[in-house]
Copies of this chain bind each other. A is one copy, B any other.
């Protein structure tokens, strides 16, 4: 159960499949577009940190110059799936090795037949190396021509980001030849180099077509029926973010591999290491097995291994959706996967937040607050890049205002939460004292300054906020927000105590630099104590103030339906009903399990379950719902939600997988398995498992690293 595959080609679903067949190595990812191109494809490679300006949405990951381009001509007829006849088609992504393979048997319009095998991978052993091989076996005697190009004329759905700078054909040190293309982003001025080298089974003496922005190598082979021609295209890639001499770096890396087989062997080894720490085994449920591995794979290829200046966008590096911007999805949905299985990656992601602290402080100050208010959408600098306006889908000349950047304050607590969880799981005191503690202290400072004292009620409030459930925007006292702010404040006080004890100098530094006077700390205590929470005597918690007064709704009454409750009620209407996009309140049970009794969980689960738009609401909801259902002892109910999360991309249940992987759903899928069915919980002394396996699962086994030690949990269903 290691492969994602298909055995026919469908033009209509190609963009979805391009997302599914994305490969990558944590430095870049490349969508599964065909080497030779196809009409209306959504071909893209995204390199971490390579952002460029766009109107309104400020900045986006620039679709990099294309390294894939590879064309084959049979007696002058260009191989393309939109002409001739496809006699056989198979595509396989091997998750164990990160290699994408396509085999095609094709008959040209004039009747020439050949078998093709394309293989590609982004090297995990050397993140600056990309490898592609094309094997052609003609069923005729004649000319087989190959054309391998680097193409600088890419764009982001119509937005051109690249300027051509230079290109050349040149000798490498060992006498081989390489072709390079130097492109530069138009506004941000980032240089990107691609360097290409060809190897072949037969002797190569390619023509060099020195066409500006598309340097091309072209070779015509005198081919015989049944005799195989194999051409390997190595591409080195580097940017001015990586090196002062990206050209030298790209040329060095492209020269390295002695053969396709050697490069592939290193790839296999690197991935084997990766899976040692991260693999999850599920027996008795093939769909669940492959889905959790696919989710892990997609997160692992998107995760920056060596660069703390970048984060993971809501669509990873696999599509144009959300323009490469990072959200709270990272800390709450994806980060736990890395915290538990790849702590070095988790630390990069948290260090990114540390490096963007000054932008978060600027944002808070701009709105009149203190401390660190992180950007709702964050890109290269950490400044707020949430577009203030998006096109109104009913009238293309109009624009609709987007409010999340101004009102979704919970992001700061999410960052603090992820930081604290990382510390708790890894026990990395060194990093925590150096960077992590400051993240928790400065976000607490923000929440204390943002809290409004309401004299009449004697409580602190956060009014006019947007919580996770976006069916209701600009509400007062969203419980998720208030409770996490409270957690942030009390945790910050604990952290400061810990620092004073274990790192007194660092404590002094921070007390000075963040102005953590006793008066301020007293205020933190007071806000945490007196924050409005809205818990009823029976334990039922109101999602936000006034929620219970909204029109009630039982979503079962609207079944069957094919669209979200948001679409059914309309923008304004959704605010008037209790229908919610994702389970805001239940998230707290997942995140702060030890603070809530089973009874409280049950009361709230029962209330919110029927009011949550599980099917067409947020893709972030089902995994949380699954975890909380497991807490309740309903593993089979949980499974229904889990499998919805697991299918988000593979089955394209929301119809938008073409825009890229639902990264939060992928992280949530892993969390549902590990924290839900596996029942993994941290305790003060270590960890415990409280398994709740679905009936049909025979076995669940997973690994994680706890305080530096690899742990294995192996659970068997008693039935």
Chain A residues at the B interface, C-beta cutoff of 8 Å = 37, 55-56, 58, 71, 149, 153, 155, 158-161, 186, 209-214, 216, 384, 387-389, 391, 396-399
Which residues of the other chain, B, contact A211 by a CB distance below 8 angstroms?
149, 209, 211, 214, 216
Given known contacts A214-B212, A389-B389, A399-B399, A155 and B160 CB-to-CB distance under 8 angstroms:
yes
9 A–B pairs (Cβ distance < 8 Å), ordered by A:
A55-B56, A58-B396, A158-B159, A158-B160, A159-B160, A209-B210, A211-B214, A388-B397, A389-B389
Which residues of the other chain, B, contact A209 by a CB distance below 8 angstroms?
209-211, 216
Distance of A71 from chain B, by nearest CB (Å): 8
Which residues of the other chain, B, contact A158 by a CB distance below 8 angstroms?
159-161, 186
A398 and B388: CB pair below 8 A?
yes
Distance of A166 from chain B, by nearest CB (Å): 10
- The 6 lowest CB-CB distance pairs between A and B, nearest first, are A153-B153, A211-B211, A209-B209, A155-B160, A160-B160, A211-B214
B213 and A55: CB pair below 8 A?
no
Which residues of the other chain, B, contact A71 by a CB distance below 8 angstroms?
212
A389 and B399: CB pair below 8 A?
yes
Which residues of the other chain, B, contact A212 by a CB distance below 8 angstroms?
37, 71, 149, 214
A388 and B396: CB pair below 8 A?
no
Which residues of the other chain, B, contact A387 by a CB distance below 8 angstroms?
397
Distance of A455 from chain B, by nearest CB (Å): 35
Excluding A55-B391, A209-B216, 17 further A-B contacts by CB distance (< 8 Å) are A55-B56, A56-B391, A56-B397, A71-B212, A149-B212, A153-B153, A155-B160, A158-B159, A158-B161, A159-B159, A209-B209, A211-B211, A211-B214, A211-B216, A213-B214, A388-B397, A389-B399
A397–B383 alpha-carbon span in the complex (Å): 11
A716–B186 alpha-carbon span in the complex (Å): 55
Distance of A162 from chain B, by nearest CB (Å): 10
A388–B56 alpha-carbon span in the complex (Å): 14
A359–B313 alpha-carbon span in the complex (Å): 43
Which residues of the other chain, B, contact A216 by a CB distance below 8 angstroms?
209, 211
A55, A158, A216 — which one has the most chain B CB atoms within 10 A of its CB?
A: A158
B58 and A397: CB pair below 8 A?
yes
| Nearest CB in chain B to that of A69: its residue | B212
| Nearest CB in chain B to that of A57: its residue | B397
A388–B392 alpha-carbon span in the complex (Å): 12
A37, A58, A186, A209 — which one has the most chain B CB atoms within 10 A of its CB?
A: A209
A55–B155 alpha-carbon span in the complex (Å): 15
Which residues of the other chain, B, contact A155 by a CB distance below 8 angstroms?
155, 160
| Nearest CB in chain B to that of A390: its residue | B55
A186–B389 alpha-carbon span in the complex (Å): 24
A377–B171 alpha-carbon span in the complex (Å): 55
Distance of A130 from chain B, by nearest CB (Å): 20
Which residues of the other chain, B, contact A58 by a CB distance below 8 angstroms?
396-397
Which residues of the other chain, B, contact A161 by a CB distance below 8 angstroms?
158
A213 and B153: CB pair below 8 A?
yes
| Nearest CB in chain B to that of A211: its residue | B211
Distance of A525 from chain B, by nearest CB (Å): 36
Distance of A279 from chain B, by nearest CB (Å): 42
| Nearest CB in chain B to that of A387: its residue | B397
| Nearest CB in chain B to that of A395: its residue | B388
A399 and B388: CB pair below 8 A?
yes
Distance of A503 from chain B, by nearest CB (Å): 39
| Nearest CB in chain B to that of A209: its residue | B209
Which residues of the other chain, B, contact A159 by a CB distance below 8 angstroms?
158-160
A66–B604 alpha-carbon span in the complex (Å): 64
A516–B305 alpha-carbon span in the complex (Å): 75
Distance of A70 from chain B, by nearest CB (Å): 12
A210–B216 alpha-carbon span in the complex (Å): 10
A55–B397 alpha-carbon span in the complex (Å): 8
A354–B396 alpha-carbon span in the complex (Å): 26
A71, A209, A210, A211 — which one has the most chain B CB atoms within 10 A of its CB?
A: A211
A399–B55 alpha-carbon span in the complex (Å): 10
A209–B186 alpha-carbon span in the complex (Å): 27
| Nearest CB in chain B to that of A158: its residue | B160
Distance of A396 from chain B, by nearest CB (Å): 7
| Nearest CB in chain B to that of A156: its residue | B160
| Nearest CB in chain B to that of A40: its residue | B163
A378–B164 alpha-carbon span in the complex (Å): 34
Distance of A98 from chain B, by nearest CB (Å): 28
Distance of A421 from chain B, by nearest CB (Å): 32
A213–B388 alpha-carbon span in the complex (Å): 36
- Which of B214, B397, B398 touches A214 (beta carbons < 8 Å)? B214
Distance of A362 from chain B, by nearest CB (Å): 13
A391–B387 alpha-carbon span in the complex (Å): 12
Distance of A177 from chain B, by nearest CB (Å): 16
Distance of A366 from chain B, by nearest CB (Å): 11
A37–B212 alpha-carbon span in the complex (Å): 11
A399 and B56: CB pair below 8 A?
yes
Which residues of the other chain, B, contact A398 by a CB distance below 8 angstroms?
388
A209–B206 alpha-carbon span in the complex (Å): 13
A391–B56 alpha-carbon span in the complex (Å): 8
Which residues of the other chain, B, contact A391 by a CB distance below 8 angstroms?
55-56
Which residues of the other chain, B, contact A213 by a CB distance below 8 angstroms?
153, 214
Distance of A359 from chain B, by nearest CB (Å): 14
A386–B387 alpha-carbon span in the complex (Å): 22
| Nearest CB in chain B to that of A154: its residue | B160
| Nearest CB in chain B to that of A76: its residue | B210
A399–B384 alpha-carbon span in the complex (Å): 16
A160–B186 alpha-carbon span in the complex (Å): 14
A389–B388 alpha-carbon span in the complex (Å): 12
A153, A186, A396 — which one has the most chain B CB atoms within 10 A of its CB?
A: A153
Which residues of the other chain, B, contact A153 by a CB distance below 8 angstroms?
153, 213
Which residues of the other chain, B, contact A210 by a CB distance below 8 angstroms?
209
A158–B163 alpha-carbon span in the complex (Å): 10
A259–B58 alpha-carbon span in the complex (Å): 51
Distance of A40 from chain B, by nearest CB (Å): 9
A56, A58, A213 — which one has the most chain B CB atoms within 10 A of its CB?
A: A56
A398–B386 alpha-carbon span in the complex (Å): 11
Which residues of the other chain, B, contact A388 by a CB distance below 8 angstroms?
397-399
Distance of A320 from chain B, by nearest CB (Å): 13
Distance of A148 from chain B, by nearest CB (Å): 12
A56, A58, A155, A212 — which one has the most chain B CB atoms within 10 A of its CB?
A: A212
A56–B54 alpha-carbon span in the complex (Å): 13
Distance of A204 from chain B, by nearest CB (Å): 19
